[in-house]
Structure 1
Amino acid sequence: MYDVCIVGGGVSGLAASIFTARAGLDTLVIDGGESILARNASLENYPGFPDGVDARQYLRLSREQAENAGAAFELGRVTSIEPVTERDLDDGFVLETKGGEPLEARRVVAASWSDSDYLVPLDVGRIQRGSKHFVSVDQGGRTAVDGIYAAGRLADEPHQAIVAAGHGAKVGLAVIHDSDANFYHDWVAPEGYFTGRGREVPPCCEEIDDAERRERDERARKRLLEAFDEPLDEEPTMHPSVEGD
């Protein structure tokens, strides 16, 4: 049984998985195969990229970051989610997948815009607006069913990558705090930040000396230079309603 299963490999799901995996929770992302962001010709309002960034490259790097943190990925589509036992949600949930084996998880994050039919058996409080369904959540992305969360556009957040990433991270933190993970903050601090004040380094924090900081900075710089050395040979995905040539 996974600690957390995230349904959807888009921006919000990836952000949630980075936080939960880094906190030591056994995390699985079920990726439906396409993020809506892949339809963008250019992502130009995400902080940190003054002239914009290739949306597909951004998604690739985000997934790589989640994998580096320890998240596992499975390509597939979830068709339904039900409690392992009817009377005790603490026993977790069974996720049925199309053409695959059932999966079990203690907590589930729904981050799959715009598909949420798999949540119907749980009665999480879906809200219909036109042809779309959203999920009602609290500030941490918690639904009406304990252990089930929703993140990003599915949780009625604005349709922007930076908002989806931020909300996914917020939901990931809610999952961590609701679990039994030993967690304070996800911080990498300079040596002495805590210990120099006579404090122990808190759970999920880390102190690194200047040499380690420079080594990590160099590794990060090389990876980004490599990623952006050549244009990504991948075209935007057109909206399915647009007729082909």
Structure 2
Amino acid sequence: MRDVCIVGGGVAGLAASIFTARAGLDTLVIDGGESILARNASLENYPGFPDGVDARRYLRLSREQARNAGSAFELGRVTRSELIDTNDLESGFRLETEGGEPLEARRVIAASWSDSDYLVPLDVGRIQRGSKHFVSTDAAGRTAVDGVYAAGRLAEEPHQAIVAAGHGAKVGLAVVHDSDANFYHDWVAPAGYFTGRGRDVPPGCEEIDDNERHRRDERARAQLLEAFDEPLDEAPTMHPSVERD
């Protein structure tokens, strides 16, 4: 049984997975194969990219970051979710997928805009607005069912990548705090920040010296230089309703 299963490999799901995996939770991302962001011709309003960035390149880098954090990925589509034992709310959840073996997880994050039919058996409180369905949550992404969360656009967050990423991170942290993970704050601090004041380094934090800081910076720069070295020969995905010649 996984600690966390995240349904949806887009911006919100990836951000959530980075935080849950870094906190030591066994995290699986079920990726339906395409994020809505892949339809974006150029991502222009995401902080850190002054002249914008190709949306597909951003997604690739985000997936790599999630893998580096320890997240596992499985390609597929979830068709149904249910409690393993309806008499035991702590038993976790079983997720059925198309053509695959059922998966089990203690907690589920739904980040699969705009597919949420698989949540119907759990009665999480879906809301229909026109042809779309959203999931009702509290401020941290918790649904009416303990152990089930919703992140990003599915949770009625604005349809912007930076908002989806932020909300996914917030939901990921809610999962961490609701779990048994020994966690305080995901932060890499300079050597002595805590210990220099006679404090232990809190769970989820790390102190590094200047040599390690320079090593990590060099590694990060090399990775980004390689990632942006060549043009990305991958076109945006057109909306399915657009007719093609």
User: What range is the shorter-chain TM-score in?
Assistant: over 0.9
Size of the aligned set, in residue pairs, is 245
Match of 1:38 in 2: 38
Match of 1:11 in 2: 11
Give yes or no for the alignment of 1:217 onto 2:208.
Answer: no
Deviations 1:127-171 (A, max 9, x none): 000000000000110000000000000000000000000000000
**What is the TM-score normalised by the length of structure 2?**
1.00
For 1:159-178, list aligned pairs within 5 A. 159-178=159-178
Match of 2:57 in 1: 57
Match of 2:186 in 1: 186
Q: Given residue 69 of structure 2, which amino acid in structure 1 is its aligned partner?
A: A
Shift of 1:193: 0.5
Match of 2:207 in 1: 207
For 1:144-163, list aligned pairs within 5 A. 144-163=144-163
Q: Given residue 209 of structure 1, which amino acid in structure 2 is its aligned partner?
A: D
CA distance in 2, matches of 1:114, 1:36: 9
Q: Given residue 173 of structure 2, which amino acid in structure 1 is its aligned partner?
A: L
Match of 2:242 in 1: 242
Shift of 1:93: 0.2
Shift of 1:89: 1.9
CA distance in 1, matches of 2:198, 2:22: 25
CA distance in 2, matches of 1:16, 1:165: 8
Q: Quote the RMSD (CA, aligned, Å).
A: 0.4
Residue 106 of structure 2: SS of its match in structure 1?
A: strand
Q: Given residue 150 of structure 2, which amino acid in structure 1 is its aligned partner?
A: A
Question: What is the aligned-residue identity percentage?
Answer: 87
CA distance in 2, matches of 1:239, 1:115: 16
Shift of 1:87: 1.5
Match of 1:135 in 2: 135
For 1:59-78, list aligned pairs within 5 A. 59-78=59-78
CA distance in 1, matches of 2:20, 2:34: 22
CA distance in 2, matches of 1:22, 1:89: 26
Long gaps (5+) in structure 1? none
Residue 149 of structure 1: SS of its match in structure 2?
A: strand
CA distance in 1, matches of 2:87, 2:141: 23
Q: Given residue 112 of structure 1, which amino acid in structure 2 is its aligned partner?
A: S
Q: Given residue 71 of structure 1, which amino acid in structure 2 is its aligned partner?
A: S
Match of 2:83 in 1: 83
CA distance in 2, matches of 1:230, 1:123: 47
Residue 5 of structure 1: SS of its match in structure 2?
A: strand
CA distance in 2, matches of 1:91, 1:211: 46
Match of 1:125 in 2: 125
Give yes or no for the alignment of 1:197 onto 2:193.
Answer: no
CA distance in 1, matches of 2:217, 2:172: 25
Long gaps (5+) in structure 2? none
Residue 121 of structure 1: SS of its match in structure 2?
A: helix
Residue 90 of structure 2: SS of its match in structure 1?
A: helix
Runs of 4+ aligned structure 1 residues displaced above 2 Å come to none
**What is the TM-score normalised by the length of structure 1?**
1.00
Residue 91 of structure 1: SS of its match in structure 2?
A: coil
